[in-house]
Amino acid sequence: MPKREDESYPGQKEGLNYCSKHKRHHRADIGCQLCGYEKSGQEKEDHPRLDRCQACGQVSLFLDKTVNLYTCLNPDCKGVFTGTQPMNKTLTHLAILGSTGSIGQQALEVVASFPGRFRVLALAAGKNRDLLARQVAQWQPEMVAFDGPDLPGHIRRASLEEMAAHPTVDLVVVATSGKAGLSPTLAALRAGKRVALANKEVLVMAGEIVMKESRPGQLLPVDSEHSALWQCLVGEEREKIARLVLTASGGPFLRLPLEELPGITPEEALAHPTWRMGKKVTIDAATLMNKGFEAIEAHWLFGITYERIEVLVHPQSLVHSLVEFVDGSVKAQMAPPDMRLPIQYALTYPQRLENPHLPRLDWKRLSSLTFEPPDYERFPCLRLALEAGREGGTMPAVLSAADEVAVDLFLSRHISFAAIPRLVEKAMEGHRPVPHPSLEEVLEADKSGREKALEVARWIS
């Protein structure tokens, strides 16, 4: 095959043929577009314009004007383009908010497993500038958001809300922690985007508001428990649900004597026995506050009353949730404890795609699966969260805000592990929840909860 001099074209690869008349390569399954022009009587174009293909990133996208069809000359590219503008029907454009956190990093691992299927348009991070710089170098997004000075180069900075509502974005991964995820989630939903939601506080704070903004199929849960419920409910009628069962590992202190809880260090609390997660959610998993949050989320996501939502401790973390139906039958979703599994399900839904990088269950090594009711004396945060959910209104926003403050204070060694539920409970005391709150009332409750938690922290230990 003759050597090509025009560097606009992809290199010699299997699937390309060479047109000796026009001295250029073309895809074997399509033929030479210039020969097609001449046969149709159109003027020959010696150097037709090539655009950058959004699917593979090469300058190899060619417009065949005879059929108004965009064709990528890269044989490895699977993009399908039609119309007067390139429109890849198989490519999903992503905005990943919280890209340097645990969920964000694992989402990018999933994206890397499917080259040509995703295009990362926006990355948002907090203060981990070095990791974000490496992600930007790898994924070449069009927009970034982060705290701190500009990154090298000319990449555009944007707000989380602008990223979430950007016209080109198809799916927004909300992997931020705490209150920061609420505003961009609402912006994405209002702009008609699909949202892969990994932030618990969004629905805990403002579940009623978020669900009113969401259309069917728009909100995709990433939490392993809610992903499990979602998978169990595919094809089922919601009226036939008897109860939802959320499983909890019990965290690192499931068997620790109660009198030793006050002496727990941040390092010990961050050593979760089965899951790889960010710091905030790992501490919430140790107190079981996360399971209370998940009960509130399940209430909003699936429209089930709290009386029909149950929590069971399952130390093996292999059964992620169960659904019991009115006839007594039960569906359970099982998988290894790896967050990339529910992340991939949300990113590729409604398809299930093979991923060789994900773990598989070894059924020959499974000896037992155990379940037990939670001990509310050991896990008072779970009790507080369930109470806040049943109370409703703005009470869950106060719960979420106070917990965020308490976890930060514990990680910075200002309060003990055992003080976390006491601080949250004191912040909830005296709050008069506003029923069916507006967004402004939710944000005011969040502010009030934080102020009360900080006030209590001055004298609590």
74/346 Cα distance (integer angstroms): 29
298/303 Cα distance (integer angstroms): 7
332/362 Cα distance (integer angstroms): 17
Residue of 202, 193, 143, 142 whose CA lies nearest to 172: 193
Residue of 268, 271, 289, 244 whose CA lies nearest to 406: 289
352/343 Cα distance (integer angstroms): 12
Structure tokens at 219: 């909100």
211/193 Cα distance (integer angstroms): 14
244/370 Cα distance (integer angstroms): 18
Instruction: Decide the pairing of beta strands 50-52 and 59-64.
Output: antiparallel
| Total residue count of the chain as it appears in this document | 461
- Looking at residue 55, what is its pLDDT? 56
Structure tokens at 178: 């705490």
Structure tokens at 414: 């200002």
Query: Is residue 429 classed exposed, middle or buried when 0-12, 13-18 and 19+ CB atoms within 10 A define those classes?
Result: exposed
Provide the CATH number for the domain formed by 392-461 in this structure.
Answer: 1.10.1740.10
Model's pTM, two decimal places? 0.80
Q: For the chain, what are the domain ranges?
A: 1-89, 92-221, 237-335+352-377, 392-461
Instruction: Give the pLDDT of the chain (461 residues) as one tens digit per residue.
Output: 333 333 333 344 445 566 666 555 555 555 665 565 455 444 444 445 566 665 555 666 666 444 344 566 666 654 444 333 343 446 899 999 999 999 999 999 999 999 989 999 999 998 898 999 999 999 999 999 988 777 767 789 999 999 999 999 999 999 998 899 999 999 999 999 999 999 999 999 999 999 999 998 899 999 999 999 999 999 899 999 999 999 999 999 999 999 999 999 999 999 988 877 889 999 999 999 999 999 999 999 999 999 999 999 999 999 999 999 999 999 999 999 999 999 999 999 988 999 999 999 999 888 899 999 999 999 999 999 999 999 999 999 999 999 999 999 999 999 999 999 999 999 999 899 999 999 999 999 999 999 999 999 998 86
CATH superfamily of 92-221: NAD(P)-binding Rossmann-like Domain (3.40.50.720)
Q: Could you check whether 92-221 and 392-461 share the same CATH topology? A: no
Handedness of CA 14, 19, 24, 29 (dihedral sign): negative
Q: Chain centroid to CA 316: how far?
A: 24
- Cβ proximity of 16 and 27 under 8 Å: yes
272/461 Cα distance (integer angstroms): 24
384/45 Cα distance (integer angstroms): 72
